[in-house]
Structures are given as C-alpha cells and as structure tokens.
Structure 1
Amino acid sequence: MKTLDNLLLLGDPRLYQVCEPVYQNELPLVKDWVADMHNVMQQIRERYHFGRAIAAPQLGIMKRLIYMNVDKPVVFINPELSGLSDEKFELWDDCMSFPNLLVKVMRHKQITVNYLDENWQPQQWQMTDSLSELLQHEYDHLEGILCTMRAVDEKGFKWRSS
C-alpha cells in the first residue's frame, strides 16, 4: 500500500511526463492503484486539510487514471476533455505534490469529460465551477503539466496560511 512517502514532489521529473493509457487487460490493477490513491489522499487530508482528487502519476503510476472523492468516489480511466467553455475564472490552485504552495491560475468554467469507469463502461460528465477546475487540474497531471506552469503571472504564487 502506497503512503504519503510515495507521493512525488515538485521537481520530480516523472511529474512532467505524459502518461500512457490504461489498457483493458490492466483493469485488474486499477483497483489496487485506486486503493493507493485513496490512501494517500486521506493522508493529505489529515495532514494538510485539503484534497478532493489525485492523479495516478503523483504516485509514480504513469497511467491516465484519476481518483476523485468529493461526495462519493469516482474513478476516471483514460479521461478526455471536451466542450471547454470560453468563460474562465481565476482561483488559487493547490496541489498535493507541493502542499504548502498556492498558484493563481485561470480555468474553464465548464467542461465535459468522457471516460471509462472502473467497470470499463463509457461515461460522460458535464462539470462546472469547482468540479470543472478540479478535473482540469488532475487532467493536467496526466499531460505532465503542473499548475505552476499555468500561473497567471510571475507573482501568482503564495504560501498556504497555517
């Protein structure tokens, strides 16, 4: 079982790699990967008091897999974003891979995500506002993009208040 000690931190070169798809024959592995992601997210919540989702590459699992737990657990296998709204909003983004740093970014107000669930069934979800920005953040991890790379300007960084 992976723990907080397995979380990749800012500067780890793996965080900048584009992830490979999850293949159907790897579906039996997804359950264990998700259990690891859930465990680490719970540890982040306990230590830093935030964490709604985590992407597999943050644990060195270089696969297109996202685990979100806001109201209930949701597994996104091979997600694809579409329908990105022209309207955007600005926010202070946080990341488990650098938990004390906040980064001011712009995100699309609305997106559509197509993905496979843990049963390999196709799903679609239109997201707005906080869920939209959350999934954009996690999707960026699959593309090797960190929110530090999306900062609105060179002053768009601050330390998290304790």
Structure 2
Amino acid sequence: MIKPINKDTMILSRPCQPATKADLGLASDLRDTLQANADRCVGMGANMIGVTKQVIIAQLGPFPVVMFNPTIIKKQGPYQTKEGCLSLPGQRPVTRYQKIQVRFRNENWQKQELSLDGFAAEIVQHEVDHCHGILI
C-alpha cells in the first residue's frame, strides 16, 4: 500500500527499533511507496512512511532491494557530496564512502551481505542513516 511521506523531523531524528519477522510486511509498503515516488526518490527508510523500524529499500539498478536491520560493516573512500531527501526540503552537504559492505536480513529473513560502490553505495548509506535517526 502506498503510504504518505513523513516529514516530521522529530520522528525522523529518533533512532529506529530493530526489525523482527513480524515486520516483513513493511517490504510491500516500502516497495509500493518507492514506486509511487520513483520520479524523485531512489530509496527510503521505514520511518519515512511513519514506522520507526530498521528497514530500508534502495533502488539498486533495476531492482528495489529491501533490507531489514542493515549495518554497514566496511567503508572506504570518503568523499563530499550533496543529497536531497523526500522528507526534507532542499539539498545538504554530506560525507559518503565510495565503497561499502552492508549486512542485513532479506525478505526471507536470511542473512545477506552486499558490496556496493558508487551511487548504489550512496543510496544505502543515506537510508541506513535514517535507521539511526541521522538526517542530512
């Protein structure tokens, strides 16, 4: 189901609770909401749709990937960039890393790891920040 985008910075700036198997249904809402905003959005955290759980979705190439309890376990190549966010007006400067490795649970609750670089890595870093209540 397409959900409204949360723009309340008080909620967005709170760290999210770990996701459990009971939260697997969030994948569908995140996928639908991302698709509805595809013209201006490439990822989102569950808190952007009003659910303060550690769940994100990132458009990685042609496929949206949902990650439960994502953790960045390696990062290298810091650089400065500007990012926007569907929940916030304008763009802001931020430090990101060119290459990352992220550990998470997939939609079958299986442990996964992905190595990402470039824009895909930037998307995941932005969304993982949402899980920690970090706003750009």
Between the aligned residues of both structures, percent identity stands at 26
Q: Indicate which of 26, 29, 36 corresponds to 2:29.
A: 36
1:20 is aligned to: 17
Secondary structure in structure 2 of the residue aligned to 1:14: helix
Per-residue CA distance 1:56-88 (angstroms, 9 max, x = gap) = 011111111011233112110111111111x21
Identify the structure with the greater strand proportion.
2
Higher relative contact order, chain-length normalized (CA < 8 Å, sep 6+) = 2
1:80 is aligned to: 71
Q: Indicate which of 96, 99, 115 corresponds to 2:104.
A: 115
Give the drift of 1:123.
0.5
Q: Considering only CA atoms, is the larger Rg found in Structure 1 or Structure 2?
A: 1
Give the TM-score of the pair, scaled to structure 1. 0.77
Secondary structure in structure 2 of the residue aligned to 1:79: strand
Listed as ranges, the gaps of 5+ residues in structure 2 are none
Alignment of 1:74-153 (within 5 A): 74-85=65-76, 87-98=77-88, 100-147=89-136
Give the TM-score of the pair, scaled to structure 2. 0.90
Measure the CA separation in 1 of the matches of 2:135 and 2:10: 11
Give the aligned length: 135
Per-residue CA distance 1:40-60 (angstroms, 9 max, x = gap) = 222323xxx321111101111
Identify the structure with the greater helix proportion.
1
Q: CA RMSD in A?
A: 1.5
Give the drift of 1:138.
0.2
Q: Which runs of 4+ in 1 moved over 3 A?
A: none
